[in-house]
Structure 1
Amino acid sequence: VQNQLVYEFYFYSNTPCREEELLLTNILLWYGWQILTASRVQAKA
């Protein structure tokens, strides 16, 4: 997942379109939320 995220970052960072940047931000926030939620669940277990 980490490598894919890095690939997506470079892919979108090389795209001048503003919508692509917003999409990248949403992807980063989504991944971050998933990781945060997963860590909380593991901490409770």
Structure 2
Amino acid sequence: MKALYKGMSYLIGQEQEIHKQGGDVNRLIADLKRMMTEYLEKNLG
């Protein structure tokens, strides 16, 4: 969970650079949010 949060924070900090290289920050963040939600649902039920 902590690693997912750190990854999301990194993406937000690098948003402009990711856009320059043709990346989709919003999609990447959405994927991380989905992973966090699935983890919490599985472990906190």
Which has the higher Rg, Structure 1 or Structure 2?
1
What CA distance in whole angstroms lies between the structure 1 residues aligned with 2:42 and 2:7? 24
Q: Larger relative contact order (C-alpha < 8 A, sep ≥ 6)?
A: 2
CA contact (8 A) 2:12 2:25 kept: yes
1:4 aligns with 2:38: no
For 2:25, the equivalent position in structure 1 comes to 24
Gaps of 5+ in 1: none
Report percent identity of matched pairs: 2
Partner-residue secondary structure (3-state), 1:29: helix
What CA distance in whole angstroms lies between the structure 1 residues aligned with 2:34 and 2:19? 26
| Letter matched to residue 16 of structure 2 | S
What root-mean-square deviation, in Å, do the aligned CA atoms of Structure 1 and Structure 2 show?
Answer: 2.1
Gaps of 5+ in 2: none
